[in-house]
Amino acid sequence: MEALERLYFRYFPEKILGEVLTKRWSDNAVPVFATLLVIGYFLFQNPHFFTFSSMVETSRQLSEFSLVVVAMGIVLLAGGLDLSVGSVFAFANITALICMNLLGWPVWASVLATLTVGGLCGAINGFLIGYLRIRAFLTTLVTLIIIRSIVDIIILRYAVQISAGFPESDLWFFLGEGSILGMPVSFLVAVIVVGLWHVVLTRARAGWHISAVGGGRRSAYNAGLDVKFTVFTTYVWSSLLASLAGLFFAARLNSAGSDTGVGLEIAALTAAVLGGNSLGGGRGSVMKSVLGAIVVLVLTDSMVRVGISGGISSMILGIILLLVVAIDVRWLKNRHKILNKVYVSPAYFRLADLPETDAGSGSPYALNDRLKDVTLIGKGEIEGPEDVIFDRSDNLYCPNRHGDIIRFFAPDYKRWEVFAHIGGHPLGMAFDAAENLNVCIGGMGLYRISPDRTVSKLTDETKRTLLSVIDDSRLKLADDLDIAPDGRIFFSEATIRYDMHDWATDALESRGNGRLICYDPRDGSTQTILRNLQFPNGVCMAGDGQSLLFAETWGCRINRYWFEGPKKGTCEPVIGNLPGYPDNINRASDGNFWVALVGMRTPALDLMLRMPGVRKRMAKRVAQDEWLFPNINTGCVLKFGQTGEILESYWDLGGKNHPMVTSMREHKGYLYLGGLYNDRIGRLKLPNADPLWTSQAFYWGDKP
């Protein structure tokens, strides 16, 4: 059973499913699937369904129709609705025909006139809806009727003249029937327009404004956007695109039929929503509109060919519209719920048996109360000092959860000031040779603070992993760092799947979600060295100039990685199977290393790590506050030697002073303790430590 579960969770890509759902393009999955299904069905019905000539003819229709659908999509994206597209389409058709056939204008003038008329219709809609705040549905319904009546009046009066006239223009003919490299002109124009709109909506300011207004009108207003103008422009663009479509229609058919564009608004709306544009606004794209247009067009075309009568095919379209609207509403409402349920994606992980920790057991981890005599610094004044470090004048630096670096002044550490404000949640810190303070900041990246308090960003991105679904190029949770003698900064990124505030949820996955990254200040490059690590945390130079030690928190082990020398690029475990979760690692004055255990393993969780299915169901069904968690309420400090043997342990039995220890730093005979969720820093006199030893001098030598 356990073996089966292990195989399933190793090879079944459940994690990808959750990640895909975080993507906006996941909305397109349904329409793409529908497109393939529809085309596949008719192809199956008749393999000769799609011939080249029918494809060309369809592409002409498609270019007109998709322009109208894109128009509808833009209005929908801004949270509106344009029912008048069909009438505007017909109006444009008749305008173009009058200009060409009746007035005998040149093509350029006719095109200009047609687009102007269309733009004016849109401006009326836009003014009424955007500035006078009349409801979009009512307004465009009324303009639909009015414009349609105008078209009918014109047709009534000029139909005969229009049919009689025939424009003597090759260009006009070219517009309607011509092709370039086998592609119909209208199709090429449509592709260009659609491409431009894609760029506008995804990359340009105007497009973002449209999405913003549709996503939240009030928020957009509060953010300083001109909401009324944005809404106005969407209707203008909508009508312009519809009249462009009408122009092509006129050039192609040269017909002044009274049923031109009737029912086009329903077909366009169906296509837009079917494609995945949300009726509520804020979610949509040009590609979605085009996909929807293809599906609807293929569907209606095929229905005609199969021989379904017009009435029934309209009914089918109507039913599809109802269906997709219902799906759209339910999907939008429940998407984040599904996402919540499938995002946590546990992996199988089996730890070795828990080492003995009982007092008097003779184990190096045996409980004691050596941290009992800790004195406290800044109790109740600081929040979340994850790390502690000292400069050459013995001043103490610690981060807090508000994004500051706090400086406590030597010698008594009673007075403090905000040394620098950066933001994010500063975590691990290290001084370099030039006395700059380098800080890993959760949510931001790697930053540097110079002695004169200038804050500069070193790096906040690395190369994106090939074939990763979520964009992992940004540093989500830079955690701890250390600096090699040549100045290179090696730092850990604990997880790429969770933010700072729910870092511990990563434990439920126990998958290698973290990375070890190197920033090289000599050329400013950032490179991922190791990936798929289980919450890589503390980083510390091993002291030989060739390797470093790093902790994998949820893996309960400490590894050694060689970045230089004969073993360059290899990584091997130094300590495995710790009784708790290792956090920061730092040097001790006697040549050994300190490591903090941020929390302790519990048998109940160790067992659950072997049952990813149980964890997955727990994440789905149990409220987040009730999840079984790693016990990060108790911690301890260990000292280990170069080869990984555990030398000493320091415990706080009652857990009163230091419920959590994430970091410790030895400085002049004292050990200083930091904790991510603590409101204090602990200070412990070390009996046998070198009272002059400082890590600053140890790393970079004595300096005045």
For another protein, the binding residues (CB under 8 A) are 1, 354, 380, 383-384, 504-505, 600-605, 607-608, 611, 614, 617-618, 621-634, 655, 659-660, 677-680
User: What is the rounded distance in angstroms from the CA atom of residue 609 to the CA atom of residue 619?
Assistant: 13
Q: How far is it, in rounded angstroms, from Cα 5 to Cα 349?
A: 11
Q: How far is the CB of 398 from another protein (least distance, A)?
A: 14
Tally of CB atoms within 10 A around 155: 18
Pairing type for strands 437-442 and 489-493 reads unpaired
Say if residues 65 and 297 touch (Cβ distance below 8 Å): yes
In terms of DSSP bridges, do strands 478-483 and 489-493 run parallel, antiparallel, or are they unpaired? antiparallel
Local structure of 384: helix, strand or coil: coil
The Cα–Cα gap between 695 and 490 comes to 17
* Alpha carbon distance 691, 575 (integer Å): 29
Q: In what helix (H) or strand (E) does residue 514 lie, and over which residues does it extend?
A: strand 514-520
- Comparison of 616 and 665: residue with beta carbon closer to another protein: 616
If we measure between CA atoms, which residue out of 486, 561, 477 comes closest to residue 519?
486
* Shortest Cβ 399–another protein spacing (Å): 15
The residue (of 407 and 680) whose beta carbon lies closer to another protein is 680
Please say which residue, 537 or 634, places its beta carbon nearer to another protein: 634
What amino acid occupies position 238?
S
Cα torsion through 155, 160, 162, 166, rounded to 10: 160
Report the distance separating Cα 350 and Cα 361, nearest Å.
25
The span from the CA of 610 to the CA of 617, in Å, is: 14
The residue type at 429: M
Residue recorded with tokens 């305008």: 95
Q: Which is nearer to another protein, 379 or 457 (CB)?
A: 379
Whose Cβ is closer to another protein: residue 39's or residue 354's? 354
Give kind and range of the element (H or E) at residue 648: strand 646-651
Lookup: tokens for 212: 């913003």
Query: Would you call 269 helix, strand, or coil by DSSP?
Result: helix
At its nearest, how many Å lie between another protein and the CB of residue 652? 11
- Report the chain's terminal Cα–Cα distance, integer Å: 65
How far apart are CB 422 and another protein at their closest, in Å?
Answer: 21
- Angle at CA 412, nearest 5°, toward 407 and 418? 15
CA distance 583 to 550: 9
Q: In the sheet where 571-575 sits, what is the strand order?
A: 536-541, 547-552, 557-562, 571-575
Helix (H), strand (E) at residue 438: strand 437-442
404-408: strand order across its sheet:
389-390, 396-399, 404-408, 416-421
d(CA 72, CA 114): 19
What lies within 8 Å, CB to CB, of 504 at 6+ separation is 629, 630, 632
Residues 6+ apart with CB under 8 A from 303: 312, 313, 316
Nearer to another protein (CB atom), residue 341 or residue 567: 341
